[in-house]
Structure formats: structure tokens, C-alpha cells
């Protein structure tokens, strides 16, 4: 279980508990949070689950694979340093306290 904070573009923060084994995208979807569309359902094929990882967490997360890296090119205003696809981040105790910032919009 991990506590994850999803911060909307306008600054509203949603703090939710997410089960280990789910993805950060599924944590948003299952809690009906706005701002993560996840059109492809988590297949790394749409980029609409894009977020900016809080700077304090960038180095703590497992790295991106090539597929995620390529798909991020299609996200809205990606930041090479902080952008991630939330369907590619597995929830575990290791990411307890993670903070992600939602983009202004998903493409
Ligand atoms: Fe489609 Fe993450 S849900 S790329």
C-alpha cells in the first residue's frame, strides 16, 4: 500500500491509498480522479496517463523503458526530466509518499 498524491494542474491535491501491484494510473482511475484519461487502459499505447513526477521522486522511481520513452513524445508538453506514463509505474511500499503533478490537459 502506498499513499500517492495527485496534484491537479490548478493545484488541487488528491491524496489516496493505492494497493501494491496496481499502477499509479489505476490508483487514479479507481478513485475517479480527474486529469488522467488512460484511453488505452494501461497498454502504453496512448500517453493520456501522462504526469510530471515531483522533482523529489524522479530519481527514486525505476527508469523508463524504450516503449514509455517513445510514447511520451506524444504526450502534451512532455518534460524529459519529469514526465512519466502512470500506467508504467507499479505501486509498492517503495513509492509510498509519491507526488505526481497532472498536466494542463491530456492529448
Ligand atoms: Fe495509455 Fe498509459 S494508459 S499509455
What pLDDT was estimated at residue 99?
A: 98
Domains of the chain: 2-101 (3.10.20.30)
Alpha carbons 13 and 87: distance in angstroms, whole number: 19
29-57 burial, b at 16+ Cβ within 10 Å, e below that, comes to beeebebbbbebebebebbbbbbbbbeeb
Q: What is the pLDDT of residues 22-46, one digit of tens each?
A: 999 999 999 999 999 999 999 999 9
What pLDDT was estimated at residue 32?
A: 97
What pLDDT was estimated at residue 12?
A: 98
Whether the model pTM is above 0.85: yes
What pLDDT was estimated at residue 5?
A: 98
Q: What is the pLDDT of residues 2-26, one digit of tens each?
A: 999 999 999 999 999 999 999 999 9
Alpha carbons 6 and 35: distance in angstroms, whole number: 9
Pocket test for ligand 1, best of 27, 64, 87, 89 (most atoms within 8 A of CB): 87
Q: Cα angle at 43 between 40 and 48, to 5 degrees?
A: 45
Q: What is the mean pLDDT of residues 53-77?
A: 97
Grid cell for residue 98: 509519491
Amino acid at each position: 500500500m502506498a499513499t500517492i498524491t495527485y496534484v491537479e494542474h490548478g493545484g488541487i491535491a488528491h491524496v489516496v491509498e493505492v494497493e501494491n501491484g496496481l499502477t499509479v494510473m489505476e490508483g487514479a482511475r479507481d478513485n475517479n480522479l480527474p486529469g488522467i484519461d488512460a484511453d488505452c487502459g494501461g497498454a502504453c499505447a496512448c500517453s493520456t496517463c501522462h504526469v510530471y513526477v515531483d522533482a523529489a521522486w524522479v530519481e527514486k522511481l525505476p527508469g523508463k523503458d524504450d516503449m514509455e520513452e517513445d510514447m511520451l513524445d506524444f504526450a502534451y508538453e512532455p518534460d524529459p526530466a519529469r514526465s512519466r506514463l502512470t500506467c508504467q509505474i507499479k505501486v509498492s511500499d517503495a513509492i509510498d509518499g509519491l507526488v505526481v503533478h497532472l498536466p494542463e490537459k491530456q492529448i
